[in-house]
Structure 1
Amino acid sequence: MHKNYFSELVKLLDNASAPYSGFSVAAIVVTKNQSVYRGVNVESAAYPTTICAERNAIQTAVTEGAKIGDIKEVHILARNAAKALIKAHPCGGCRQVIAEQSGYDAMVYSYATETEIEQHTIAELLPLAFLGAEL
């Protein structure tokens, strides 16, 4: 059973920087040793340089010493431009990073409310992933 991070995600959403889209995302990554890392989306006027919340949290985990295979859980909550909390799933780029950094073994939890949580394995969200073994 995973910990419910809803209230922490709600607070974390206030740190997101989404001045262009108004679409704020917060993510919490949990490693196999139960370390917790947080991330929010940070938009840029040059859209390709924008960073998603999930990748922000994972890159922080890696910066702090997490290794490939250490990522166990990714928890996500979003708020749209109308300020309504909504369930969001990782974009394709984030799915790729989650797959690689978790060793294709993470659970992804997408929150709509404190009790409405959708969960998927990263393998369900990114079937037939390219994980780099072919390189």
Structure 2
Amino acid sequence: MHKNYFTELEKLLDNAQAPYSGFNVAAIVITRNGDFYKGVNVESAAYPTTICAERNAIHTAVTDGMKKGEVKEVHILARNAAQALIKAHPCGGCRQVIAEQSGNDAVVYSYASASLIEPHTINELLPFAFLGADL
């Protein structure tokens, strides 16, 4: 059973910077050895340079020394422009990074509230993932 990270995610949402879309996202990544990494989305006027919360947390973990295959869980909470908490799933790019950094074996938890949490394996969210073995 996973820990409920709703309270931490809700607080973390206030650090997101989404001045263009108003869509704030917070993510917490848990590694196989129990390390905890936080990330938020940070938008840029040059949209391709925007970073999603999930990749922000994973890249922070890698910077801290996490090795490929060590992502165990990704917890996500979002708030839309109307300031309502909503359940969100990772974008395609984040799904790819989660698949690679977990060895295609992570569980993604999408929160709508403290009690409404939807789990999916990354394999469910990104079937037929390209993991780089053929490079």
Aligned to 2:56, the other structure's residue is in SS state helix
Answer yes or no: is 1:67 the counterpart of 2:70. Answer: no
Provide structure 2 residue ranges, at least 5 long, that are not aligned to the other structure. none
How many aligned residue pairs are there? 135
Structure 1 CA distance for aligned equivalents of residues 124 and 68 of structure 2: 19
Match of 1:18 in 2: 18
Q: In the TM superposition, what whole-angstrom CA distance separates every residue of 1:29-87 from its partner, at most 9, and x where no partner exists?
A: 00001000000000000000000000000000000010011100000000000000000
Counterparts in 2 of 1:1-135, with a 5 A limit? 1-135=1-135
* CA RMSD after TM alignment: 0.3
Structure 1 CA distance for aligned equivalents of residues 61 and 3 of structure 2: 18
Sequence identity percentage: 80
Provide structure 1 residue ranges, at least 5 long, that are not aligned to the other structure. none
Structure 2 CA distance for aligned equivalents of residues 122 and 6 of structure 1: 20
Structure 1 CA distance for aligned equivalents of residues 74 and 90 of structure 2: 9
Structure 1 CA distance for aligned equivalents of residues 43 and 128 of structure 2: 30
**Letter of the 1:29 counterpart:** V
Structure 1 CA distance for aligned equivalents of residues 130 and 70 of structure 2: 18
**Letter of the 1:7 counterpart:** T
Structure 2 CA distance for aligned equivalents of residues 50 and 63 of structure 1: 19
Q: TM-score, normalised by structure 1?
A: 1.00
Query: Which ranges of 4 or more aligned residues in structure 1 deviate by more than 6 Å?
Result: none
